[in-house]
Structures are given as structure tokens and as C-alpha cells.
Amino acid sequence: MVCRTGTDLTQMTGVTDVVLPASQGPDGSWGGALAATAFNTAAGSEICPSILTTSVDGTSVLRPHTKVKVLYEIDSALVAVEFGNSVSTAISYILDIVNIVAANYELQTGIAIENELFLDTRSGNALGHTYPDTKNAADALTNFRLRWAKDPELKAKMDGYGVVSLLSGQNPNSGSGGRQTIGIARLDTACLKGQGYETLPSSISWLALARDKECAVSLIMHEMGHAFSAIHHDYTQSAVMHSLVGNYCSQSFLPVVRSQISGWANDHTDGVGCACAASTGPEVPVPEPEPAPAPQPVPEPMPEPVPEPVPEPVPEPVPEPVPEPVPLPVPEPVNPLADCSGLRRRACRFTLGCIRTRVGCQPNTENGAVCARIPRKKWCRKAGCLWGPAVASNPPVALETAQRARRQRRGLAICQDFAMNSERTPTEGN
Ligand SMILES: [Zn+2]
């Protein structure tokens, strides 16, 4: 598959980029069947331990620090046209460009590129090899690939690299209209050594058509991205893999492209041109270690806390037993119904509730005596009754004697209840 990268930088506008399948490519008759899918099933790949890591912008990549040796051939046209036949100037300038490319790849994809610039001076031309000026991008790529495949020395040299690319000073555009091409690449050509295939030239970048260094960096990143299986993404101009790379010159890979490139590297490593990296990657600049902080004084070990002596528990004072309240002796109640009858004179005298009368020992009113039944004045008064004329309010006595009745009719004094006489009748006074 061949990818042409277009640009309207020069004369034309509205250029498009063409991606051709391998069978229709300019080198279809060379190199045999280079179907991209065949690469993934080839045996012999060195399986590197995957180290999932995160790039500077948070994108995860599979193979951080995978080492890829990249060989850039510089043709005589580039040194002559762009650098005034000064090889040293060309080398210095181009090294600056490819080093920026390498830095971008490592930061964004985890691939650590080792650059090498090559000028083929075997013919005696110090400026490098001069390719036929085909004015056709596809033809130029065919010439590039055939030369490196057929020349034994170049072929041997190529096998030590994961990517081989040409930086050219020619202009492949015919000038008769149509597209303007600034770069061309075959997809899936990186790190083929050890996959059952020989290393193949990957791409041409016509640096003479890049308007400045930034665009040159973007162009080389783009064409090498195709070698690592990345395809075009034209939905944003802020992407390396936009087909109009010569116009927008972005140096940022989209996250999906980073995944593609790191995934290809993860699947195609032979230990020569594309080597498994050490766990940390020797090319990764190791930041200077921070100066060791001044030793902090070792704090004195804290003494074990001495437990405060626990005071002996003071026994709770045993409360004095509260004596059960002793019930006060209940005085024997005065027997109001002391049987006074039959008591002798002395016993009657000292018996509470009894009075001595002429008819023997008798109870007083507190001991059940009934005033209405007491016939004698002295006995009545001793018993606690009232001796006097009958009071109207005095209730009738059921057991009136005949003598009492007579005395009452006559208005004479009789024995009667004391208390009743003391009350006033309801009709008295107002
Ligand atoms: Zn492209």
C-alpha cells in the first residue's frame, strides 16, 4: 500500500492524498506480495515484554522505549538545492530536524529512535546519490526501493535498521496539473526484519517542499507514521496524520494514532533494527537526582511512656447498716368496754372507764354508759352525763323509766347526754 501525502504549498490548491493498495503500487512487481496483513502472521518476531505506560499527555502506549534504528538517506538534490552544496550545513540542519522527530516519537509513542544520516558517496559525488528526476512521486519511490533492494551493500546495510527513508531535494510533481505531492510512503514497512521479510525502504520526504523546519518535522513524522501502520485522519487539522500535512504541519499524534504506532512496534520487534528496550530505556534522559536532603537530626527516641501509677482503689465505704425502724410500741388502747360489773370497790376505782356507785361498779359514758338510764344525780355526774331539766332537742330514750318520765313531765332534773344540750336549735336567732 502506498500513501501519497499532498500539499498545496506550491502551486495547487485542493490537493488530495491517495492511498493505494500494494498490488496497485508503483513497486507492485517488486518485493513480491507485500500484503500488509501478512506481516502480522509472520513468525520469528521477538516478543518483548509489554510495559504499559502513559505518555506525557496521558495516552497509554504499549512499548515504551522500544529502540528503532532509522536510516535517512540524503540525496544530492537536497544538499545542492537547499544547502548550497554544503554537506555539513545539510547534516547539521537535517540532524536537528530528525532529532525533533525522534523526541516527538518518544514523547508521544514511546518509541526511542536512533537516527543515522547516510550519503551514498561511492560514485564520487560528495553530495550523495543522484536519483533520476522522474517528476512523479510513485516512480521516485520505486527507484528508491529498487536501488536499495538490488545493491548488495545497501541491502546489507538496510537490514540493520527498522526504518529506511529518503530525504530528497527533488520535486516529484510534474507541473502539468493534478496533485502536488510532498511525501510518499508504503504502509506497514517498519521493523520487518525478523518477521520473515527483509527490511524495505519505507518512504520519501521531499524536504525542499516543506516551507519551514516545523513543517519538515511534521512531514517526516507523518511518513514514518505510515511505516508504523498509521493511516490518515483528516477530521482535524491538528494532527500529524492529516493528509495535507504540508499545509497544517502539526507535530501532535492523535491518541488513536499513538495507539496504532505503539501497537505496531509491540508486534514487530526483531532485536536488530527494532529492539526490545530495557525496562527503563537507556536513551531516556535520566533526570539528575535531587540532592539528597540534609540529614535530619535523628529524633531522640521517645521514651516509652511510663504509666501513671494507678492508685490503689479505695474501697467504697461500707455504709453503716441502717437499722430497721423499730416500730414504736403501740399503747394498749383503753378498753372502752371494760367490764365494770362485778369489780370490787378498789378494783373499780382503778379501772379506767368504771365508776363506783351505790349500786356497784358501773361504766361511764366513754365505756358505754347510757345517760338516760342513770337514775341518780351523783352517778349521772360521775358517769359524765348532764343532770338537769330535760332539753327539748334531746332525743327520746327508748328505755325511759316511769320515774324518769314523771320527773321529765314535772320539769325536774334528769340524767341526759351532755353534748346534745350544747347545740342550738336551728330556729334560734338570725
Ligand atoms: Zn500520508
CA–CA gap between residue 112 and residue 119 (Å, rounded): 23
Give me 180's grid cell.
502536488
Query: Amino acid identity, residue 190?
Result: A
Residue in the structure block whose three cell numbers are 528526476: 133
pLDDT for 320 equals 53
The proportion of the chain whose per-residue pLDDT surpasses 70, expressed as a percent, equals: 63
pTM (2 d.p.): 0.56
Distance of CA 186 from the midpoint of ligand 1 (Å): 9
Shortest CA distance to 204 belongs to which of 131, 265, 149? 131
The rounded Å distance from CA 232 to ligand 1 centre is 6
Q: Which helix (H) or strand (E) holds 224?
A: helix 213-227
> CA-to-CA distance for 231 and 228, rounded, in angstroms?
9
Question: For residues 430 and 426, what is the distance between their CA atoms, to the nearest angstrom?
Answer: 9
Asked if pLDDT for residue 91 goes beyond 70, the answer is: yes
Are the CB atoms for 206 and 82 separated by under 8 Å? no
Distance 162 CA to ligand 1 centre (A): 19
- Contact (CB, 8 A) for 111 and 262: yes
Average pLDDT over residues 393-409: 68
Separation of CA 19 and ligand 1 centre (Å):
8
Average pLDDT over residues 211-227: 95
pLDDT confidence of residue 276: 72
Nearest Cα to 401, choosing from 371, 381, 379?
A: 371
Residue 197 DSSP symbol: B
From ligand 1's centre to the CA of 307, what distance in Å? Answer: 79
Which segment of 7-11, 162-166, 383-387 scores lowest on mean pLDDT?
7-11
Query: φ, ψ for residue 393 (rounded to 5)?
Result: -75, -10
pLDDT value for 160? 82
Provide the residue type at 263 as one letter. G
Give me the phi and psi of 350, to 5 degrees please.
Answer: -100, 10
In the predicted structure, residue 302 carries a pLDDT above the cut 80: no
Q: What residues are neighbours of ligand 1 (ion), with CB under 5 Å?
A: 3, 5
Percent of the chain with pLDDT over 90: 31
- Grid cell in block for residue 286: 535520566
187 close to 226: Cβ distance less than 8 angstroms: yes
For residue 101, the one-letter residue type is V
CA distance 141 to 294: 61
| Residue 397 alpha carbon to ligand 1 centre in Å | 148
CB 107 within 8 A of CB 56: yes
Specify which residues 275 forms β-bridges with.
67
Three-state DSSP class for residue 277: coil
Kindly report, residue by residue over 317-363, the tens digit of the pLDDT. 544 544 444 444 444 444 556 788 888 888 888 888 889 888 889 98
